[in-house]
Structure 1
Amino acid sequence: MPTESRPDVKPRPTSTHPLHSPDFYAGDPYPAYRELRKTTPVVWNDTTNFWALTKYEDVRFVSGHPGLFSSTKGITIPDPEQPEPVQEGNLIFTDPPRHRQLRKLINAGFTRRQVTLLEPTVRRIVADIVEGIDPSREYEFAEEIAAPLPTRMIAEMLGAPPEDWERFRTWSDAAVGTADPDIEMDSLVALGELYEYFTALIEDRRSGRVTGQDDLLSILAAAEVDGERLTDADLLNFSFLLLVAGNETTRNLIALGTAALLEHPDQLAMLRSDPSLLTCAVEEMLRYTSPVTHMARRATADVDIRGQQIKAGDTVVMLYGAANRDEEIFGPTSEQFDITRNPNPHIAFGAGEHACLGAQLARLEARVMFEVLLGAYPSIELTGDVTRLRATMVPGVKRMPVRLKASV
């Protein structure tokens, strides 16, 4: 029977845009983001039931209050057809104080010094990729040029042998592309194979069969903070997180960054003429393309955001791509791709407690790749349409045909 309306409860403003759909993120969501920032910056999706945030300061607010907005119930846009893939104990699904303890231990492998030490390895891998390019044929840029770098880098970091690198990419694609019909491997099968593989790597290090290694798993297995060490389950969870987060995001930063340069030939020409802009250009690629579209949190108490009452138990989705083009932060050129933008306080790597642990490594990989690739090939021509993976969180580049020429 109908219930009496309560004048103190505002109706939730709902969006006409399909913010729950993989197709929305695989297309061009930016016009919708712009409209929502102006009209309903805190908006309810009544198809799969979540609040979407499109303003920069609101995303930072949620990111900075893990006590109010929990990661333990899931971090992705709700999908009624698939259970939320929560991995209890995994860094990305934990809240303080456990999150801080885990992060402190894992930081041993991601100090500034450790990342600096990885640069020769990054340069060797990039040189292998670029030197192997045949200018006489067309390439699928994302698959053949962008993807091998993070895949090989992570495999080497974890101490996996070269013959296993391609399996890493297959597992990673299956883990993030669950909604895409072109991904043949089932995500649960991929997850099972991943855990089985990483369990063997960890056992090798714990048993002493592999010793004297300086790979990340060996460093983390030996890391100790305040008398505490990472358990085998912790190492297993982190290995999975590193593969999926590090591989997909860096691959798509490189592919989407290249697409942005090709769509803005004036910016590409400026970068070629002044390579000192490379560091700044990578930051603008991160802001402009936002390879990770969102993170979700669960409200633990009632909280007001821009006059909208978020109830305890509500899911809140932080749309990074919308926040990274917020006019209040990035000014009247927020929708423009500008490789000289400075300052550039984007939040493509998240913010607060859960800011991306591997952000500096991703920046290093992208910087070296663009430095070497643009130096070797004065001409990069897009020869077909760029198509994206059907995914809500990381709608990566699936097809991006290009030709590379050593002379203009």
Structure 2
Amino acid sequence: MDYPLHSPDFYVNDPAPAYRELRRRSPVHWTDANGGFWAITRYADIKWISSRPDLFSSARGVMMPNPDAPSGNRRPMLISTDPPRHGALRKLVSKGFTPRQINAMEPDIRDIVRGALDRAEAGVDLEFAEGVVAPVPTRIIANLLGAPYQDWEQFRTWSDAVVGAADPDITLTPGEALGALTQYFQHLIELREAGGTNDLISILLEAEVDGERLSQEEILAFLHLLLIAGNETTRNLISMGTLILINHPEQLRKLVHDPGLIPTAVEEMLRWITPATHMTRYATEDVPFRDKVIKKDQAVVMLYGAANRDEEVFGDDAEQFVVTRKPNPHLAFGIGEHACLGMSLARLEARVFFEELLARFPHIELAGEVSRMRSAMAPGVRRMHVRLSAATTKKAVHR
């Protein structure tokens, strides 16, 4: 029994049946693809590995092993830093993501979402994924960084190239995109150093813990991570979430009738979609694990999407999409010290988007085939034509 877990095509198709089989028959599963790695599919196992950075290191990168990936010096990102340095970096970077700062962004986020939805017209077919959804997280991040409006769309091009490099629609290479991003971010940093503002870059420049500040290299690394991870995963969450609601009309009706359910629905979308399919760690020593032994330096790929359907945690309806699901301890944002720093922002963006979308257009249906993005890390919807319809107002009956 083996599955092409390294292939983008595996994630374009529905991986749930393979995940289910792996959880049942081979929860710690070795595959020879891409030089070999262990695939972990059970919730409890992923939770345990995530809690042991002494045994499973992030320092060699968190992407699935890929011999075709460009080699060279990697920028030292927060996501690929081990303790104790990781804790110090996270404290500094978190200065820009306090609950107060995230909550203060809601009016701007709502304006950006409304602007995107203004492009939609009731009863008219439109391309939804690229035309309506994709600009939203890019513009939100650009606004967070204080980037000029005219640069916002360029952000999306660079981000697509870095994350969706396997997609045939993307011609810019990851190296070219990273180079362009670095130059642009350096320009923004230089502007902020000359005169402070209240955007995220200024906050990062001023952040200090125990007399220590972030270096420019560390700020650049974090900005890359924010744009790439925050843009792609949130875009895929919203596009795929819309598709899920279309495919589950009874759940869509629940949200239309009770918008107060949208926050719990967003959590269920995160569980069901799992926008980042996996994270990888490397064993620092031989580790006995269930009935296997993970050898030192072997890659361990934690398949979050498999864990988010684990029947031992989510019950007999783990394979069902239920917008009222509580509790919902999904692993879509990871867990432990490397849990996603931007999770509150992602939740806010998704909540606001679906509040605004369903208030305007409570009826949503597909108007053509769905084209998927090929990516082993962040598969999503490339194009999706839909037809949105406004609420029909019932005429009053006079008696």
TM-score, scaled relative to structure 2: 0.96
Alpha-carbon distance, 1:87 to partner: 2.7
Contact 2:161 2:170 in 1 (8 A): yes
Distance 2:67 2:97 in 1: 36
Residue 44 (str. 1) matches residue 27 (str. 2): no
- Letter of the 1:74 counterpart: G
C-alpha distance 223-96 of structure 1, shift in aligned 2 (>3 A):
same
Q: Could you tell me which residue of structure 2 aligns to residue 329 of structure 1?
A: 313
Contact 1:383 1:402 in 2 (8 A): yes
Residue 166 (str. 1) matches residue 150 (str. 2): no
Residue 175 (str. 1) matches residue 175 (str. 2): no
Distance 2:350 2:385 in 1: 19
Alpha-carbon distance, 1:390 to partner: 1.1
Q: Could you tell me which residue of structure 2 aligns to residue 360 of structure 1?
A: 344
- Letter of the 2:28 counterpart: V
Name the SS of the counterpart of 1:249 in structure 2.
helix
Superposition pairs of residues 72-221 of structure 1, within 5 angstroms: 72-83=59-70, 87-135=74-122, 137-206=124-193, 208=194, 210-211=195-196, 213-221=197-205
Contact 1:86 1:93 in 2 (8 A): no
Contact 1:180 1:391 in 2 (8 A): yes
Name the SS of the counterpart of 2:368 in structure 1.
coil
Name the SS of the counterpart of 2:340 in structure 1.
coil
Which of 274, 277, 284 aligns to 1:293? It is: 277
C-alpha distance 389-383 of structure 1, shift in aligned 2 (>3 A):
same
Identity score, percent:
57
Contact 1:73 1:86 in 2 (8 A): no
Distance 1:343 1:136 in 2: 37
Q: Could you tell me which residue of structure 2 aligns to residue 347 of structure 1?
A: 331
Contact 1:20 1:45 in 2 (8 A): no
Superposition pairs of residues 217-366 of structure 1, within 5 angstroms: 217-366=201-350
Name whichever of 78-87 and 396-405 sits farther off: 78-87
Contact 2:119 2:132 in 1 (8 A): no
Alpha-carbon distance, 1:127 to partner: 1.5
Distance 1:42 1:110 in 2: 35
Which of 52, 62, 71 aligns to 2:49? It is: 62
Q: Could you tell me which residue of structure 2 aligns to residue 6 of structure 1?
A: none
Name whichever of 238-247 and 75-84 sits farther off: 75-84
Contact 1:282 1:366 in 2 (8 A): yes
- Letter of the 2:7 counterpart: S
User: For the aligned residues, what is the CA RMSD?
Assistant: 1.2
Distance 1:394 1:164 in 2: 24
Distance 2:365 2:306 in 1: 29
Name whichever of 87-96 and 248-257 sits farther off: 87-96
Runs of 4+ in 1 over 6 A off after TM superposition: none
Contact 1:205 1:218 in 2 (8 A): yes
Q: C-alpha offsets along residues 337-376 of structure 1, whole Å, 9 cap, x if unaligned? A: 0001000000100001110000000000000000010000
Contact 1:154 1:247 in 2 (8 A): yes
Name the SS of the counterpart of 1:386 in structure 2.
strand
Q: C-alpha offsets along residues 108-156 of structure 1, whole Å, 9 cap, x if unaligned? A: 0111111111111111111211223233542221111211111000001
Q: Could you tell me which residue of structure 2 aligns to residue 394 of structure 1?
A: 378
C-alpha distance 202-193 of structure 1, shift in aligned 2 (>3 A):
same
Distance 1:205 1:67 in 2: 37
Q: C-alpha offsets along residues 192-251 of structure 1, whole Å, 9 cap, x if unaligned? A: 000000010011112x1x33x111001111111100011111111111100001100110
Q: Could you tell me which residue of structure 1 aligns to residue 9 of structure 2?
A: 23
Contact 1:72 1:88 in 2 (8 A): no
Alpha-carbon distance, 1:85 to partner: 7.6
Gaps of 5+ in 2: 393-399
Contact 1:387 1:399 in 2 (8 A): yes
Gaps of 5+ in 1: 1-14
Distance 1:112 1:303 in 2: 38
Distance 1:387 1:139 in 2: 14
- Letter of the 1:51 counterpart: W
- Letter of the 1:46 counterpart: D
Residue 34 (str. 1) matches residue 10 (str. 2): no
TM-score, scaled relative to structure 1: 0.94
C-alpha distance 388-86 of structure 1, shift in aligned 2 (>3 A):
farther
Distance 2:104 2:311 in 1: 38
